[in-house]
Amino acid sequence: MSDESMVQPGRWNAGLPESIFTKGAPGRRGLTFPRWDGEPVAADLPAGMRRAEPADFPSLSEPEVMRHFTQLSNLNHHIERGMYPLGSCTMKYNPRVNEQIAALPGLADLHPEQPVGDVQGLLAALKLLEESLCEITGFAACSLIPAAGAQGEYLGMFVIRALHLHNGHPERAEVLIPDSAHGTNPASVVIAGMVPKTLKSRPNGRIDLDALRAAVGPRTAGIMITNPNTLGLFENDITEIAAIVHEAGGRLYMDGANLNAIMGKVRPGDMGFDVVHMNLHKTFSTPHGGGGPGAGPICVTPELQPFLPGPWITAGADGGFTLENLPGRDSAAIHSYYGNVGVCLRALAYILRCGGDGLVRVSECAVLNARYLLSQLRDILPVANADQCLHEFVASGVSWKNEFGVRTLDIGKRLLDYGVHAPTIYFPLIVEEALMVEPTETESKESLDRFIAAVRAIHREAATDPEVLHGAPHTTPVGRMDEARAARQPDLSWLGPCNCG
């Protein structure tokens, strides 16, 4: 039966697709043959466990299923649709070869309870990743266990705390954190049983050395710094900062979630840090942002190595590997088995494919791209604290607010109509109407130019027709939402809007 509402122009692009449960017709099907390697592929299920009736699933042909999921995949903006300049998040294109490697049957089909003798290849790969990350960061030992950046921070804080306790200093429980820090930093300090203490930045966005000297003391456990910091600026005084903190008996933690500016250029270990965590799901290309798996390994100095939790991958004299669980080290057990292996394998594939020279080039191009955008946009989006940036910059939309009554939120939402994801907004908190832009190295000159043109077009709209911005986005399947309500009362039903108030 035909119905003209099915063919309204625009619906094709803007509408939500029909539920898959109402599509298809009995008898339609798509076939995929199971893998056959000469052995029986599946044992017969015992009769008592078999379904008596066929499941009540929709019957669809392969093209119907393909179209359905392809349509679904385009409802959200994603890096394979367009630019995604989300600051402090390093949303770079993820090479397909990473996915192919992580999906190799000899890796993807392993079971975590399999005997160590069966997983030697995997352990060799993970050991190589540990060594590569130590080489990139300038440290002695690595734990791949943390499943997220914040979990790496927690483990790093735990390890520093364990060192102070071991040395008989339970009173060392204060961790200094600059006011430009990522919000997860103070949270991780608290969860590790310590107390965060805020350090105010200087007007140029860097740490105030006098304030630091005044803040350290016998209760100092350490300092947590992001370098380059969240303003996209390098802490030039880092060796002096390290000397002040070490002299006071503290340790230095680096939040290395985004190494995109410095990989292959400088190493946290050489700057005087004692611990660093990296987000493999940012710097090393694994996609993130949809709540998918991540990995936040930490690398540490020899002094802190004994406090890393097990299991440890240990190479034997015969070239084989064992997984050792050292007694007493399970108190920081934060993840089952040995971390998110699939994410680790993607990162290793990325590192090996780029090679040392390639990683240097990644950093150089990431910085070049950010500087190009800054140079082309700073007349309408001024950058508060700096003349120059590294892999990202934080602009302020204050003049848009004062002149046109347009907020940074409106700029971000309107960018969606131009096919670009919004930059990070309202972070870091120390910049008013902040707009944090990180293009990454994987965007071409043409794509950067499109972004510049979009921001300039939106600036003109703000001057002539600000209402367009207030109501944006206009061309996405779902318009502007009450974000607090959407998070607290998500409507996840395929049956359509629920009446849950």
| Interface pattern 239-268 for ligand PLP (x via CB under 6 A) | ----------------x-xx----------
Residue of 85, 149, 156, 423 that binds ligand PLP (CB under 6 A)? 149
CB nearer ligand PLP, residue 201 or residue 414: 201
Q: How far is the CB of 86 from ligand PLP (least distance, A)?
A: 10
Q: Judged by CB under 6 A, which stretch of 148-156, 166-174, 262-270, 347-355 contacts ligand PLP?
A: 148-156
CB nearer ligand PLP, residue 286 or residue 369: 286
Phi, psi of 178 (to 5 degrees): -60, 155
Q: Judged by CB under 6 A, which stretch of 142-150, 202-210, 357-365, 381-389 contacts ligand PLP?
A: 142-150
CB nearer ligand PLP, residue 230 or residue 417: 230
**Is residue 296 within 8 Å of 150, Cβ to Cβ?**
yes
Site for ligand PLP in 304-363 (CB under 6 A): none
**Is residue 412 within 8 Å of 423, Cβ to Cβ?**
yes
CB nearer ligand PLP, residue 184 or residue 285: 184
Angle CA 412–453–85, to nearest 5: 45
Distance, in Å, from the CA atom of 440 to the CA atom of 438, rounded to the nearest integer, reads: 6
Please report whether residue 132 would count as binding ligand PLP according to CB under 6 A: no
CB nearer ligand PLP, residue 294 or residue 473: 294
Nearest to 415 by CA among 354, 472, 487: 472
> What are the residues whose beta carbons fall under 8 Å from the beta carbon of 93, sequence distance 6 or more?
79, 80, 285, 440, 442
Residue of 228, 232, 264, 296 that binds ligand PLP (CB under 6 A)? 296
Residue of 77, 92, 161, 182 that binds ligand PLP (CB under 6 A)? 182
Question: Which residue has 């679904």 as its token pair?
Answer: 72
Query: Torsion-angle region of residue 455: left (phi > 0), alpha (psi -120 to 50) or beta?
Result: alpha
Q: Judged by CB under 6 A, which stretch of 47-55, 146-154, 310-318, 418-426 contacts ligand PLP?
A: 146-154
- Alpha-carbon dihedral sign for residues 356, 153, 245, 393: positive
Query: Torsion-angle region of residue 88: left (phi > 0), alpha (psi -120 to 50) or beta?
Result: left
CB nearer ligand PLP, residue 18 or residue 179: 179
CB nearer ligand PLP, residue 98 or residue 340: 340
Please report whether residue 88 would count as binding ligand PLP according to CB under 6 A: yes
Q: How far apart are the first and last CA of the chain?
A: 35
Q: How many residues bind ligand PLP (CB under 6 A)?
A: 13
| Cα-based distances in Å from 419 to 76, 311, 454 | 11, 45, 9
Query: Which residue is at the shortest CB distance from ligand PLP?
Result: 149
Please report whether residue 184 would count as binding ligand PLP according to CB under 6 A: yes
Site for ligand PLP in 214-233 (CB under 6 A): 226
**How far, in whole angstroms, is CA 375 from its chain's centroid?**
26
Q: How far is the CB of 177 from ligand PLP (least distance, A)?
A: 11
Please report whether residue 148 would count as binding ligand PLP according to CB under 6 A: yes
Residue at 21: amino acid letter? F
Q: Where are the alpha helices (DSSP H) in 378-501?
A: 398-404, 408-417, 445-464, 466-470, 483-488
CB nearer ligand PLP, residue 172 or residue 206: 206
Q: Three-state SS for 176?
A: strand
CB nearer ligand PLP, residue 257 or residue 373: 257
Residues making contact with ligand PLP (CB under 6 A): 88, 148-150, 182, 184, 226, 255, 257-258, 279, 294, 296
